[in-house]
């Protein structure tokens, strides 16, 4: 159950990009980069494209790095890259800050996702494996709900305060993972 809470809190950051960050950028982002004007909608698309490309390209490299660093260190490195980068993704309106933060968060995500699945498999006993997998499916529904909550909170709180809130929740998830890691057989 602690794994599910950790996963929900950390992955809720991703839902903010799809929901709150896209809406915020569409309303308030405008930049000129290399003589070309970029609107908020274009920036939201660029962020998602950048994330996808990095995930696809690094999926081939990260297993080698994971073997070198070890699974626990790689997972922690991924979390340490992923969570703080979202502070800037959620709060910034600067083109270069957003591109850099998405780059760092995407690298972190490539470490987190496969090792998170390994953790889930390690935590679930043979008898409860189906239950764990079903609960894991609900996590994605929960992150979608938290993403919608981000849009609702945007009318009341500033981007800075929302970034603090979401990164704070994800940091609680990080704490849950720290609690679980000694109980899991990862390298």
Tell me how far apart the alpha carbons of residues 43 and 39 are, in angstroms, rounded to a whole number. 6
Q: How far is CA 118 from the centre of its chain?
A: 17
Q: Quote the mean pLDDT of the chain.
A: 88
> What is the model's pLDDT at position 49?
95
> What is the model's pLDDT at position 167?
94
Residue listed under structure tokens 């970034």:
163
> What is the model's pLDDT at position 154?
86
30: phi then psi, degrees, rounded to nearest 5: -160, 130
Checking if the pLDDT of 51 tops 80, the result is yes
For 110-125, what is the mean pLDDT? 80
With a pLDDT cut of 90, the percent of the chain lying above it is 47
> What is the model's pLDDT at position 2?
83
Task: Write the pLDDT tens digit of every residue in 3-46.
Answer: 888 888 998 988 888 888 999 999 998 888 888 999 999 999 99
> What is the model's pLDDT at position 110?
92
For 49-77, what is the mean pLDDT? 90
Tell me how far apart the alpha carbons of residues 44 and 154 are, in angstroms, rounded to a whole number. 17
Q: 2-183: what CATH class?
A: mainly alpha
Specify the pTM: 0.88
For 144-159, what is the mean pLDDT? 88
pLDDT-based confidence at 121, cuts 50/70/90? Answer: confident
Q: What is the DSSP-derived secondary structure letter of residue 181?
A: G
Q: Report domain extents, the chain.
A: 2-183
Alpha helices (H) along 70-128: 71-91, 95-123
Checking if the pLDDT of 168 tops 90, the result is yes
Q: What is the DSSP-derived secondary structure letter of residue 184?
A: S
Which of 63-72, 108-117, 156-165 ranks highest by mean pLDDT? 156-165
């Amino acid at each position: 159950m602690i794994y599910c809470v950790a996963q929900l809190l950390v992955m809720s950051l991703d839902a903010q990009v799809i929901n709150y960050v896209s809406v915020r950028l569409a309303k308030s982002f405008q930049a000129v980069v290399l003589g070309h004007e970029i609107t908020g909608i274009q920036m939201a698309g660029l962020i998602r494209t950048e994330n996808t490309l990095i995930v696809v390209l690094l999926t081939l490299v990260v297993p080698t790095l994971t073997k070198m660093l070890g699974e626990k260190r790689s997972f922690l490195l991924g979390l340490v890259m992923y969570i703080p980068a979202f502070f800037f993704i959620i709060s910034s309106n600067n083109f270069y800050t957003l591109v850099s933060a998405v780059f760092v968060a995407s690298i972190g995500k490539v470490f987190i996702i496969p090792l998170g699945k390994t953790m889930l498999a390690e935590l679930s006993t043979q008898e409860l494996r189906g239950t764990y997998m079903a609960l894991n499916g609900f996590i994605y529904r929960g992150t979608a709900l938290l993403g919608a909550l981000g849009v609702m909170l945007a009318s009341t709180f500033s981007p800075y305060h929302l970034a603090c809130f979401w990164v704070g929740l994800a940091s609680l998830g990080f704490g849950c993972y720290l609690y679980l890691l000694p109980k899991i057989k990862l390298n």
